[in-house]
Amino acid sequence: MAKGLVQQVDPLNNYWSGDGSDQETDRRERKGWKVKIHDLSGSAVAAAFMTTPFVPSTGCDWVARSNPGSWLIVRPDAFRPESWLPWGKLEAWRERGGTKDSIFIRFHLLSDGQDGGELLMSEMLINAERGGEFFIDTDRQANSNSNIPSPQSSGDFAGLSPSASGFVMSCRVQGEGKRGKPMVQLAMRHVTCVEDAAIFMALAVAVDLSIEACRPFRRRIRRGNRHSW
């Protein structure tokens, strides 16, 4: 975790939408999860909000590609206190693979302009049981998508260039049902202030929580076992 930042995540008890009984409710969903990153003064400098609930797709009990869950990664609006500006969108769903399932993670950077553009920055599979690494690195992803550029800084969409490339960030996340916090690494050239580091931390925690949110709905999330920090 970057020096000078404090990570605050709602207890898992507040995440689960249900009646507390052993039976699943008819309408099963995981919604309303949120993450806020604060500096040492207590000011929120980045956040992630679940905007599309993680729900089982028709005919199955897991989050499928046809209806992925999603997060909005946001940063403070310097001109409007208590307001947020969209920075990125994270989508996740479960890919079945026989005995070994994976979680597909896709991240888009959002434009500050009125066109509301989205720029694909990263997409990959993470082993659902063992966890793995999420990263934004155009050199490593060149074989799968040569059109993914790197940002000049986390808050500067206008600074993007098709010729920009290289490592931006990475984080290692645990598999589903395991206790742990994501370990984040950042390229210093993309971090110009505390807010830059914080926005990548919010993204990393959203990736980590997505592993849990994509668990099959026949498996109850263990209350208090994960992210009750």
DSSP-based three-state secondary structure for 205: helix
| Residues 115-142 pLDDT 10s | 568 889 999 999 999 999 999 998 887 6
Among 26-30, 67-71, 109-113, which range has the highest average pLDDT? Answer: 67-71
Range with the lowest mean pLDDT among 18-22, 26-30, 53-57?
Answer: 18-22
The model's confidence at residue 99, banded by pLDDT at 50, 70 and 90, is confident
Comparing 111 with 24, the larger pLDDT belongs to 111
Residue 223 has pLDDT above 50, yes or no: no
| pTM of structure | 0.78
pLDDT (0 to 100) of residue 148: 53
User: Residue 204 has what pLDDT?
Assistant: 95
Query: What is the pLDDT, as a whole number, of residue 1?
Result: 47
pLDDT for residue 46 is more than 60 = yes
Q: Report CA-CA distances (Å) from 37 to 11, 45, 52, 207.
A: 15, 6, 21, 15
229 is written with which tokens? 């920090």
pLDDT in the model for residue 21: 35
- pLDDT 10s digits, 210-221: 999 999 987 655
Residue 5's pLDDT is: 58
pLDDT at 136: 93
What is the predicted pLDDT for the residue at 59? 84
Q: Which of 161, 150, 219, 191 is nearest to 5 (CA)?
A: 191
Average pLDDT over residues 160-185: 77
State the virtual CA torsion across 107, 169, 87, 204 in degrees, nearest 10: 70
| pLDDT reported for residue 32 | 92
C-alpha to C-alpha distance for 100 and 129, rounded to whole angstroms: 8
